[in-house]
Structure 1
Amino acid sequence: MIYIPMLKTRKEELRVLKLMKEHYSDKIIPLIEVIREIYKPNYLTDENGEFIKEKRNTQYRKIKCAPTEQGVITLQKLNEMVESHKLFIDYFRFSLNKYGKNIKFESAELAINLSNNYKLYKDKVLSVAQYNNMIPVISVKPGFDIPKNELKSFVAELQNKTEQMALRITEEWIDEYKDIISDLLRQHDFLLFDIEEQNPESKFMEIEELNDLDAKCKIVLLNSPRKASIKNGEYPERDKTDLINNCARDIAYANNLTGYGDYCGLRDVMPLNNKSNGKGAALALLYDFKENVFYSYCNHDTSLGMKGYLDIIPLIKEDEMKLNRDGDCPGFMRIEQIPNTEYSYRILEYVALYKCCEIYSSNK
């Protein structure tokens, strides 16, 4: 059974991607939704090639230049982060109907451009083939359909460039693309069936339809079990939570699918312009593989904002014997490393990623 942790290219998610690289294998393959480019640092220089510096407070610092297309090193950096382990690369397109209009432009500029330019999207997906360890993903979802003949051509072009590729679709296109799935996708290719926030238990007919195609490719169930509409303050203060339905693992196993994937305790949301004014319920989620459940630690005093994590940390540590039975949980290790500053406690929002990303290293 393959597990696919799904991450976007936000800073903390990329930090997790890098720190957990030793756990990746044929059983755990991250899927990266690329929403922004990573650029090579570019600094202003004089006619002699010397860096121009400006004084800031008491120090002189190099002056950064605006990034350029020639300075894009996204795939190179992702490859370095995982030390050439396998990765799915999904150049991410999104609709405002689903993710809202309050998107933080500078953190999702590429995704915005991809959503409005199919040629750019196609070129980016094809560019992934230059890395043997990266599996390019063609993604079709509401608002971003690809005509059947164009998709056939796209798949064939990609297959000529790489030994593995993936087609990610939502349920609307199972019937429309059934010939592509059964006839074009190869043995080492992937069909990523994305049900988003829907209950996996309700998708038995669609999964049966996919299995009936007798496709040669590997079929993986993707889902987003933590609903974006549920606010942090709705989670239990210190208990298991049934607000996150983790049954995709069992559904995939029961239906002989190749595996499953999810957002590792995060919500499927885009970076937003922050209007919280430093307020809100502090929430940390820790996953228990054996029980297949998340434990919730929430400070319901919304006036504290990030400072609310100060009261959460002792509670998590008190439960260490329950959640870190073997003493090697990377989530707990990360908690111990958090600097004693208010902003640093935001790491706890992502602590579930560490536990999810090492699932199969200890549960083969």
Structure 2
Amino acid sequence: MLRSAAFVLSLLVSPILCAADKPLALVIHGGAGTMSREALTPEREAEIRADLDRALDAGHAVLRAGGSALDAVTAAVVVLEDSPHFNAGKGAVFNAEGVNELDAAIMDGATQRAGAVAAIHRTKNPIRLARAVMEQSRHVMLIGEGAEKFGESVGIEFVDPAYFRTEHRWQQLQDAKAREAAQAALPRGYHYGTVGAVALDGEGRIATATSTGGTTNKRWGRVGDTPVIGAGTYAGARCGVSATGTGEFFIRLMVAYDICARMEYRGDSLAAAAEEVVMKRLPAIGGDGGIIALDGEGNISATFNTSGMYRGWIKPDGTRGTAIFKE
């Protein structure tokens, strides 16, 4: 009888132990572009790395507590949106009219649900509005005034548009306009920003979130790849990707989905798929930028063809790091 009771107890306990043994992983980015070591002061670099670490802490705390990948990427991206150092939320760039115009998307790989918003101006954390679209509407993408009216109806936090203004971004707009007037091309990768996160939780679920202010001096309601599911943001059962770069090229190649599809249909590893798409296919048509991604085993990729990409990671074994250049 005692042996039978012990056997039953082991059956009850073992699923919990198995779940605890599943890998947890998180990878984040704060944008790719033409960073240079000379232009990045030690003080600014320290501030950027500190914000990346805060985002990692926020997302990983959710995972360690048994929370979902969806909650983890939301928590991480909110921290990055609240930082003035990244082109999303508080640190968003200005469009040609001197307005901050924000886009975001989120996707749950386990259910294939997704939500996205574009061309919004008053939402403090666009990633929260994108998630509300996914969870509280029957739609995938909402834009502009309509998106924010929906946000009001579900209790999303709004701010005065002045909240998004930073002097650094305002000066970037003036520089871009001066170059435009002089018919001088902007440096390659000048516009980049965007933040993102991909997480793997203890149930084996993957989720992805991406948020951006778009490109400096953009016109005509331009929308890039960030809120386009499959281009700048994608999550499936085995793979999740968040992208940053020249959005038009990422849309044309459906970069985020292409990486996951190569794993699903060809059996490519995450590293091989990311290398092929980011380092070969994108440059072949003139595109540049980078991605973060992870697979169901917790393998992480941070692949970029620019001089740098703000990024951070926590691997299944608990090791973590942040980086900017190609260390």
User: Highest relative contact order (Cα 8 Å, sep 6+), 1 or 2?
Assistant: 2
User: Is TM more than 0.5 here?
Assistant: no
TM-score normalized with structure 1 length: 0.29
Based on CA coordinates, which of the two structures has the bigger radius of gyration?
1
